[in-house]
Each structure stands twice: as C-alpha cells, then as structure tokens.
Structure 1
Amino acid sequence: MTKAEQFDKATKLAMKGDLTLYDEIVHSDYESMNQLVPVNKEMSKSILSGIGDLITVGPMHRIYENEEFVCIHRYSRVASADVFNSVMTAITYKNGKVINQQTVREELDYDPSEGQDWNWEDY
C-alpha cells in the first residue's frame, strides 16, 4: 500500500470510528491547521471520528508521493445538503509518520460524481 493509499484509508476508517491505522501512521508530534485553528493528533482524531455521518469522502487521486511528502486530491460531500468540495491535501512525514497536513477545499457548483465511474454510495 502506498503512503497516499494508507493515509486515505486511515482517514476514512477514522471517520467511521476506527482509529487503529490512524494511530499507527500519525506522529505523536503531529500538528496541522483546521479552519485556522491549530490541531494536534488527539484533536484531529476527535474531529475525524465526529464527522463520519456528516461528510462523505470520495475516491482519492495521488498527485505526488515520496518518502517525506504526499499530495492527494479527493472530493467530499456534505451529507445533509448537496454541498460538494474539491479537496487537495499536502501531507508531510517525519520518521515515516505523518507530522503535518494542510488541506485546501474549494466548493463546487456541481456533483463531481456525475458522469464518472463512481458514486457517493460506494463511499
């Protein structure tokens, strides 16, 4: 499994309440920004495990990957309203574990699954 696939799987499992893989791959000194608020590993786990019913994350596309850095693109959907986002995430590694991530979201005015070979129910 690539680092990108591992990160995608870990975050999707965490959103379903399974934090095992997330704990394995995320560094204890992890820190990122979420909505301009600094977030550590424990806060990130709380956020992820609390949004599983609210947000659906679609398929992951790896843009770049090496031992120290991964960049991925995914689409997300807010479950209660048809709000769709294009999501780019940059992930930095230290000693083989995620130490930082930065995510940029752009709201879309269309459903990105339309006309594709995937649908939201698959996720």
Structure 2
Amino acid sequence: MMTSIFPKGPKNETYQQFFVGQSYLQNLVADPEVNIGVGQVTFEPGCRNNWHIHHQGYQILLVTAGEGWYQEAGQPARHLKPGDVVVTHDGVKHWHGATKDSWFSHVAITTGTPEWLEPVSDEQYQALED
C-alpha cells in the first residue's frame, strides 16, 4: 500500500456497484452549504470505476499517490502518477482507476449528477500497458 497525504477512508460501499474491485472513499468536505463533492478515492491494484458521465457539472482529479489510468471514450488511456491533474468536462464519457500492479489515489472535485454506465471490460483493461 502506498502513502497519501489524506487517509484512505472506509470501503466505498455507497458506490461499490459502480466499481470493478475494491475502492475506498474519504470525504474531505462535508459542508451542506457547499454544492461540490470533494473526496479522496483510493483504488486497490486492478480496481477501476465504470464508464460514467457528469451532467450539469464536471470533475477534477488531483492524483495524490500510486499509479492509475484515465480514459475518455474514443481516446487512448492516459497513465497517471502523483501530481497529475485531469479535468473532465460536462457530458464526457470516461473512467479512471488503478494500474494492475499499483494502488492509486486521487482527490475528486465533482459537481453535477453522475450517470453510471457499463463496466470497463476485462479485455479493455488488460490491454493497457502499465
């Protein structure tokens, strides 16, 4: 397991049905007057979320530890390392998660409503080069 500046958090049971593998979620902002989600998501090796779209909003990922992947539909996957920043605009279908052999954490800053879609297939995921 790698070290991050934020705690790993509890198992991400609220969103588990939208992940392949185990993830953890540490909410970082819990102010009901702030209409933005801020949390650190930690992925065990091989864990990734389903394809999804943010409607009426966006998502910013700040990579804090480990190695992972980010991919937008129709684009090649992007290999992520600590210090990388990803901006996902409104309506863009995408997924993100750990590499096969590394834990991965990012802070997700999110607005809008997510639409969860199909899982990233094992075939798609295994084709990625760590």
Give the structure-2-normalised TM-score.
0.28
Pick the structure with more helix per residue: 1
TM-score when scaled to structure 1? 0.29
Structure with more relative contact order (C-alpha pairs < 8 Å, separation 6 or more): 2
